[in-house]
Structure 1
Amino acid sequence: MSPFLPLLDIDVGDGSLLHALARIAPLIVPYSLKDSPSLAQNASRYVLIDRDSSQSVDDVVSILDQGADKVILPLALAKDAIGVVPAERLLLLLDVANVSAVSDKIRNGVSGVLIKTPSVDVDFIGSVSRFFAGSAVHVLPVQAAEPPSRSTIRALAGAGTILVIPTSLLTLCATDAKQLNVADAFLANVTSDRPDGLFPTVVSSYLEGGRSLGLVYSSIDSVRESIATGKGVYQSRKHGLWRKGETSGATQDVVSIRIDCDSDALEFSVIQHGAGFCHLDRPSCFGEVNGLAALERILKSRLASAPEGSYTRRLFNDPELLRSKIMEEADELCRARTKDDVAFEAADLLYFALTRCIAAGVHIVDIERSLDKKAKKVTRRPGNAKPQWTQQPGAGSSTALAPAAEASKSASTVDTDAPIRMRTYDLAAASAEQRAELLRRPVLKSDEMIAKVKPIVDDVRTRGDAALLELTAKFDRAQLTSTVVRPPFAPETMQIADDVHEAIDTAYENIYKFHKAQAEQGSLAVETMPGVVCSRFARPIARVGLYVPGGTAILPSTALMLGIPAQVAGCKEIVLATPPRPDGSISPEVMYVAKLVGASAILKAGGAQAVAALAYGTETVPKVDKIFGPGNQWVTAAKMLVQNDTDALVAIDMPAGPSEVLVIADHTCNPAFVAADLLSQAEHGVDSQVVLVTVGLSDERIAQIEEEVDAQARALPRVDIMRQSIPKSIIVKTRTVEEAIAFSNDYAPEHLILHLENAPQAVSAVENAGSVFVGPYSPESCGDYASGTNHTLPTNGYARQFSGVNTLSFQKHITSQEVTADGLRGLGPVVATLADCEGLGAHANAVRIRLQALSQS
């Protein structure tokens, strides 16, 4: 703190003296001069209201609201202001003779006093300081005609008081009998323990939150020049005065100079220009900047030179995109629950908010100034949200998203320069609530989606083919005259490369072999008691609809996975639905699979309209009994809607959600293999669910996996999708295999991959999973395509209750029983008794009438 405060008591002309004083201390400004044009806008100031003024407490509050740091009030006005104005903003104005009249209430209601005294008596002032212990004591000699000596300033500082010096007694020139040089007054109490008398000086960046730029040395002469010119001037131990940037151009504007608590070192807060402070052309002698300061530097640079087409340039050029991103990230921050998620979402919001600021020429320091200005306000608004941001009663609240699953972001709004990283959590450090958050999936707002798809479903149900053709033109951008293709399929529609042909054939054979083995070979018959035989036998579901998505990828594999078990089960009618290409055709790979599995029809439609056509049938689309297959949220909602409509009489395979993989890896894992497995699932869509559970892996080993994820993703064609799905994905650190598998069982993943030392042994502990991939050479891709298992699996945690699609999914089981006469004699009385117990006399009668006939024969 400065050992003195200047009191504005004269017209200071061009204001250079006040600007210099503002760099080292708050200015005491009489109320009549508070609007002086010579005052710097950001100058710290105490407004002095003398005892003869007519100001009210409301006037005092207004002064503080307008930016004054403190107000200095006479006793009468201070009594009214205490309790209204915070104590730290109040100083009490007293004549030296009235010090003892101050009550404890007054003394506790202010942060200090300004004592007017005819002359300076250091001993007396020391006793006053002790009376106001804990408060700042300022002394103003009202009859002083000449400047105080440096020894007087030093003595008062030693007594715990601050001398107030009128600006008429201060100068930027050399000290003489009439005026004291500002630097001489400022440094009066500063001492040096160095033989050369220099003061260690820390230089910090005003624009970068006070980050240290370097350590230099100052002398009285260098400080004098810095205060007067506002430029960074220091003392070189070899070359004398060192005017920073005089030869390099890396000049400094001095914002403030402060003295440390021991009065033996200085801090210069500066605005650095040019290449930087360090002689190595770096911003700081202590290395590169980071955090918000680094982000601000990057954004400033990109505003000036970002190439056209880059994401940041798009943000600068498209205010509406930037506005949308700020609103999106603010919403996601509000939804975040865990500490890590809040930090993650806050970082996103700060990035886009700072981009908005830089685009408008606003820097972090401007934001800090605004915060400081707002903090100075005494009056406060109620702080209620504007009507458009308040939730109306009964509207329902938004549900927080899980750490690995926020709402999808468009690929065009992702920073391609940022590392592709997952988020890491330590299960041992997680509370029960945090662990539950890690297990959560995205909240599927099924009611909202069903409401959106219902008009589409109703339209197809009511108008049939006409609606289907219109909706296919609208959503699939394909103009068709007919939506159904029946066999035999034209050879030209199935022309595929030889290697793809061979791969599909091999996959078909493997999948067929595995699903054929699942089919029941005969009926089940059990004689439950003599003469009573109960049986169960399987029959195929007659008509099935297979939905094969066609959005971001061609999926002949899904056609195989759905078509083969339908074929093996013996379904009489297999209708394959898939979105057409813009020219109205179906991908030849899917067409070829349709032929292999014996599809009886191909519906060229996607989305909710395809589901509706399968569920209700149209003039050309056969109605089916059960609908299978994955799809987006529109498809899922439509499946849920039609299965609950008794008029449709249609079943569905299982609830569906985004694709999932959970990988468990221990010290034996190959980081490249693990990363590849994570990415193979992350590329499905921006809402894919990807989880890595580590077993006792060090931070270094985990970092190797993350580096592989980033490097491999950037080399893959669907990197734009992975830039969005991977940052929403999580790494969960565990200590034992048992702990890892327990977490996996709770998560119930669609795909579970075991990169473990004894992976086969771990399978017995798996209770909930769609499909398990055992060991380092069992990538999920094998199950997705050609090993033989089915890749249509339960997601969203439904592996707790559902199996993946299999041959039995396409069959229904019928039971039968055959009771002989002797069997009825033994069973009949039991049945009749139970029927009587339930009061169902007709049931009992159906047995007794037979028993009576047997007894008479």
Structure 2
Amino acid sequence: MAPPFLALLDSEPAEDGVLHALSRVTSLVVKSNQAVPNHLSRYILVDDASVDRDQVIAALDDGAEKAIVPLTLAKKLVGIVPASRLFLLLDTANVSAVPDLLRHAVCGVLLKMLGVDIDLIQSISTFVGSTIYVLPTGNPSTSLIAKLAAIGASLVIPVQQLTTDATSQTQIHIGDAFLAPLISDRSDGLFPTVITSHPEGGKALGLVYSSRESVKESIVSGKGVYQSRKHGMWRKGETSGATQDVIQIRMDCDSDSLEFRVVQHGAGFCHLNRPSCFGDVDGLSALERTLKARLADAPEGSYTSRLFKDNMLLRAKIMEEADELCRAESKEEIVFEASDLIYFTLTRCVAAGAGMGDIEQALNRKARKITRRPGNAKPQWAPGGENSLQATPQKPIVADSPVVDADEPICMRTVDLATTAQEEKKRLLKRPVLRSDEMIAKVKPIVDDVRERGDAALLYLTAKFDKVQLEAPVLLPPFYPPPSSAAGKYQLDHAVKDAIDIAYANVRKFHAAQIDGKALVVETTPGVTCSRFARPIARVGLYVPGGTAILPSTALMLGVPAQVAGCEQIVIATPPRPDGSISPEVLYVAHLVGAHAVLRAGGAQAVSALAYGTQTCPKVDKIFGPGNQWVTAAKMLVQNDTEALVSIDMPAGPSEVLVIADDGSHPAFVAADLLSQAEHGVDSQVVLVGVALSDAKLAAMEAEVDKQARALSRVDIVRESISRSLIIKTQNPEEALQFSNEYAPEHLILHLRDASTLVDRVKNAGSVFVGPYTPESCGDYASGTNHTLPTNGYARQFSGVNTQSFQKHITSQEITKEGLEKLGPVVATLADCEGLQAHANAVRIRLGI
């Protein structure tokens, strides 16, 4: 919870004793140009218009916990600085001017007030919905601190009004200010106090009691001082020497107990000369204690003594263990090698006088940084460098986690079905595990935020994830041609426009032929006529990814069947470009298919907006389109929420292609088809099933894969996806098609003699490409078929997107009096059998029986 007060450090210098006492119970609020020791917890206050965004980020990078900034500057920091690090600087006059985007993009507000109005602060807290610190004029009091704490607010007190001496009319003792909200529920007025170890990850050392006097002495002296229920004031270590340095004192959420975080000296906290009253410490804390003890008195010639004295030996062991950890494959191997590396690393730290506490502080400082380095390896450690894993012989790498070298051939792993065990065959059919439950848990807060806050959440999340500041999330028609003022931003290449026009015509022609426009009418019994007729789904949402590639083709494949089916409302959702615009290709497709709105958002937030609707984004009835794991998880989440009342097209996974090729196939054609899917992403699934391929033909295909891949701009993606891919050797087309049907690929390409005669044997596939001159890319773009297809083996149960995906079917029946006379007794008998008397009565009352 927030401390009961913050200390404002004005330009006047403060005494070291006061600063140290404050550091144990709260944080300092300092101006952006004030220098304070790094060990003091501090908030940076920006009330100078000359301070810019980069200066705030630099202060946070330098270790400041939070930044307190005015409205104008906060708008520039949203999406760059995490909400947990940002406070708004307001006065009572401009609270209502805080936009929704900022209300949920900060963790608190520092409110300047002439006087303290509790009711006003409570109302502001409801509006802002975050932690409030109050900076009033005049002298503070402990009663005011307690009143504010009772409503979840905290006071900001100038350091000059705080003291380590007794509380007076003009100054408050720091301990009195800290203890103001603390309430004891014990008859003796003491506070239960948990003692935890600072350099050992907050491990509990024991439980004691504190009084107001003991706490105040601890705050000022920095030593562990408690209240014994039998002996009065207890200054820890006064007789035993096992003293404590107090690092931090906190109260719990109910303000009735305390935690002291301390550095324990001597034998330990417990009277049994153990580190903790709950037993010895273990894990890293125990290792650190052991190493410190051995540094002090390790036997001469022992291994530990050698490590401490021989820096070159210790250096070699650290490098050796790091190398072995990088080569480890199984979980057990990784844990074993990591524990060795940690041992030698901590030995190095202890030898230099550092410990776990120092490491934790360094990690905390790094975690506070806003700006990040690219994170690339230094040249000597990068793949191919002199110290890289490829520079020395290494263990075999399993197919699921390859280490790829830019100089190594780009090739697939080969498996012969004839010599493969049954269990291994089953493994070959498996895709990467999609931990949908974990992903759904991750996307749920995003989905919930958009459902609850609508456009405000969309704008905030777009700024956070896409680093794009938008005024409004939705674009409305006309989408083409662009207004003259934005012609440059939305310039559409004429050749691309012509290609889209041809693709649109082909896709529309094929999907128009699929429409179910004729009612099915069947007379099941004389006088009993049953029918089924199709109606378009009224409102549809089409998700068009915009991650590693611009995909106007996906907008076509989803928009055309929606248009042909007659959907009343078509909403396209796609992530914006860095300047907030949408690619002109996608906007042109939106124009062609008659889209009613374009939502400038991606990821789970776009799916949520489509499912629930926002102030500007219409709610839809069904969501279509591929996407990454976040999109897929969000689609699965919303389709199971009865509040959303939305369905989805199908579960989606990484792109897939399975090519069946025989000895008569063209190696270059086969390689090109494999690579056309491999370039989608590193998790693309690429399989070549060879039918009685000669060694020479297989080698020629592999050489083509390597050659063509190196000429691609996305070669790094291809290199990794191909390294995870498979060549399956089979004896004949029957065996190859059996494997394909069990695999159920998204795309199936038949590079076989008389390929067209084998299509009838295909049982499971998203779409089939027949013969050497039918590349999968034609289906992706312009042949007419749809490229939104089932992946991850779902071709066993799902069809690809088609016109009827955008239609629903309604049944009807009409029965004459004569028909009911024939059918009614049957219905009444069955209703009686099920004990549903009213059902039977609905028939009998008409027939008079």
TM-score by length of 2: 0.54
Residue of structure 2 equivalent to 1:686: 682
Q: Secondary structure at the match of 1:733?
A: strand
Residue of structure 2 equivalent to 1:654: 650
Which residue of 825, 834, 848 maps to 2:830?
A: 834
Residue of structure 2 equivalent to 1:443: 433
Residue of structure 2 equivalent to 1:259: none
Residue of structure 1 equivalent to 2:812: 816
Task: For structure 1, list consecutive stretches of 5 or more residues without a partner in the other structure.
Answer: 1-318, 337-351, 369-400
Residue of structure 1 equivalent to 2:665: 669
In 1, distance between residues paired with 2:543 and 2:797? 22
What pairs up with 1:448-527 in 2 under 5 angstroms? Answer: 448-489=438-479, 491=482, 492=487, 494-527=490-523
What pairs up with 1:43-82 in 2 under 5 angstroms? Answer: none
Q: Secondary structure at the match of 2:461?
A: helix
Aligned-partner residue type, residue 505 of structure 1: D
What pairs up with 1:715-734 in 2 under 5 angstroms? Answer: 715-734=711-730
What pairs up with 1:691-706 in 2 under 5 angstroms? Answer: 691-706=687-702
Cα distance, 1:335–1:474 mapped onto 2, change above 3 Å:
farther
Residue of structure 2 equivalent to 1:152: none
The superposition leaves residues 12-54 of structure 1 with CA deviations (integer Å, 9 ceiling, x where unpaired) of xxxxxxxxxxxxxxxxxxxxxxxxxxxxxxxxxxxxxxxxxxx
Cα distance, 1:818–1:363 mapped onto 2, change above 3 Å:
closer
Aligned-partner residue type, residue 474 of structure 1: K
8 Å contact kept, 1:544–1:628: yes
The alpha-carbon deviation at position 701 of structure 1 amounts to: 1.0
What pairs up with 1:14-93 in 2 under 5 angstroms? Answer: none
Cα distance, 1:360–1:711 mapped onto 2, change above 3 Å:
closer
Which residue of 594, 599, 609 maps to 1:598?
A: 594
Cα distance, 1:326–1:604 mapped onto 2, change above 3 Å:
farther
In 2, distance between residues paired with 1:815 and 1:322? 72
In 2, distance between residues paired with 1:556 and 1:846? 55
Cα distance, 1:514–1:844 mapped onto 2, change above 3 Å:
same
The superposition leaves residues 565-619 of structure 1 with CA deviations (integer Å, 9 ceiling, x where unpaired) of 0000000110000000010000000000000000000000000010011111111
In 1, distance between residues paired with 2:420 and 2:773? 32
Which residue of 636, 646, 664 maps to 2:632?
A: 636
Task: For structure 2, list consecutive stretches of 5 or more residues without a partner in the other structure.
Answer: 1-316, 335-379
In 2, distance between residues paired with 1:572 and 1:362? 58
8 Å contact kept, 1:578–1:604: yes
In 2, distance between residues paired with 1:321 and 1:458? 47
Residue of structure 1 equivalent to 2:407: 417
The alpha-carbon deviation at position 564 of structure 1 amounts to: 0.2
Residue 782 (1) aligns with residue 781 (2): no
8 Å contact kept, 1:326–1:353: no
In 1, distance between residues paired with 2:421 and 2:452? 53
Q: Secondary structure at the match of 2:577?
A: coil
Cα distance, 1:323–1:764 mapped onto 2, change above 3 Å:
farther
8 Å contact kept, 1:494–1:592: no
Q: Secondary structure at the match of 1:754?
A: strand
Aligned-partner residue type, residue 494 of structure 2: D
Residue of structure 2 equivalent to 1:538: 534
Cα distance, 1:509–1:320 mapped onto 2, change above 3 Å:
farther
The superposition leaves residues 407-444 of structure 1 with CA deviations (integer Å, 9 ceiling, x where unpaired) of 6x8xxx84211110000000011111010011000000
Residue of structure 2 equivalent to 1:565: 561
Aligned-partner residue type, residue 452 of structure 2: T
In 2, distance between residues paired with 1:777 and 1:707? 21
The alpha-carbon deviation at position 446 of structure 1 amounts to: 0.5
The superposition leaves residues 172-221 of structure 1 with CA deviations (integer Å, 9 ceiling, x where unpaired) of xxxxxxxxxxxxxxxxxxxxxxxxxxxxxxxxxxxxxxxxxxxxxxxxxx
Which residue of 641, 645, 655 maps to 2:641?
A: 645
Q: Secondary structure at the match of 1:518?
A: coil
The alpha-carbon deviation at position 495 of structure 1 amounts to: 2.8
The alpha-carbon deviation at position 521 of structure 1 amounts to: 2.5
What pairs up with 1:246-261 in 2 under 5 angstroms? Answer: none
Aligned-partner residue type, residue 516 of structure 2: E
8 Å contact kept, 2:381–2:387: no
Cα distance, 1:360–1:454 mapped onto 2, change above 3 Å:
closer
In 2, distance between residues paired with 1:494 and 1:733? 49
In 1, distance between residues paired with 2:650 and 2:593? 22
Residue 330 (1) aligns with residue 328 (2): yes
Residue 756 (1) aligns with residue 746 (2): no
8 Å contact kept, 2:384–2:405: no
The alpha-carbon deviation at position 359 of structure 1 amounts to: 4.2
Q: Secondary structure at the match of 2:737?
A: helix
Cα distance, 1:620–1:691 mapped onto 2, change above 3 Å:
same
The superposition leaves residues 440-479 of structure 1 with CA deviations (integer Å, 9 ceiling, x where unpaired) of 0000000111111111111111111111101001111111
The superposition leaves residues 539-587 of structure 1 with CA deviations (integer Å, 9 ceiling, x where unpaired) of 1110000000000000000000000000000001100000000100000
Aligned-partner residue type, residue 828 of structure 2: A
Cα distance, 1:672–1:323 mapped onto 2, change above 3 Å:
farther
The alpha-carbon deviation at position 335 of structure 1 amounts to: 11
Cα distance, 1:324–1:815 mapped onto 2, change above 3 Å:
farther
Cα distance, 1:817–1:550 mapped onto 2, change above 3 Å:
same
8 Å contact kept, 2:415–2:729: yes
Aligned identity (percent) is 70
Cα distance, 1:601–1:419 mapped onto 2, change above 3 Å:
same
The superposition leaves residues 670-714 of structure 1 with CA deviations (integer Å, 9 ceiling, x where unpaired) of 000000000000000000000000000012211110000000000
8 Å contact kept, 1:561–1:792: yes
In 1, distance between residues paired with 2:319 and 2:475? 43
Q: Secondary structure at the match of 1:455?
A: helix
In 2, distance between residues paired with 1:618 and 1:584? 19
8 Å contact kept, 2:764–2:796: yes
8 Å contact kept, 2:517–2:533: no
Aligned-partner residue type, residue 619 of structure 2: K
Cα distance, 1:472–1:507 mapped onto 2, change above 3 Å:
same
Q: Secondary structure at the match of 1:702?
A: helix
8 Å contact kept, 2:522–2:530: yes
The alpha-carbon deviation at position 811 of structure 1 amounts to: 0.6
Residue of structure 2 equivalent to 1:708: 704
Residue 622 (1) aligns with residue 612 (2): no
Q: Secondary structure at the match of 2:409?
A: coil
Aligned-partner residue type, residue 754 of structure 1: L
Residue of structure 1 equivalent to 2:350: none
Cα distance, 1:610–1:331 mapped onto 2, change above 3 Å:
farther
8 Å contact kept, 1:449–1:637: yes
How many residues of Structure 1 are paired with residues of Structure 2 in the alignment? Answer: 481
Which residue of 580, 585, 590 maps to 1:584?
A: 580
TM-score by length of 1: 0.54
After superposition, the CA RMSD in angstroms is 3.0
Aligned-partner residue type, residue 437 of structure 2: D
In 1, distance between residues paired with 2:808 and 2:478? 29
Residue 433 (1) aligns with residue 423 (2): yes
Cα distance, 1:714–1:334 mapped onto 2, change above 3 Å:
farther
Q: Secondary structure at the match of 2:550?
A: coil
The superposition leaves residues 364-398 of structure 1 with CA deviations (integer Å, 9 ceiling, x where unpaired) of 89x99xxxxxxxxxxxxxxxxxxxxxxxxxxxxxx
Residue of structure 2 equivalent to 1:140: none
8 Å contact kept, 2:517–2:534: no
In 2, distance between residues paired with 1:650 and 1:361? 49
8 Å contact kept, 1:322–1:356: no
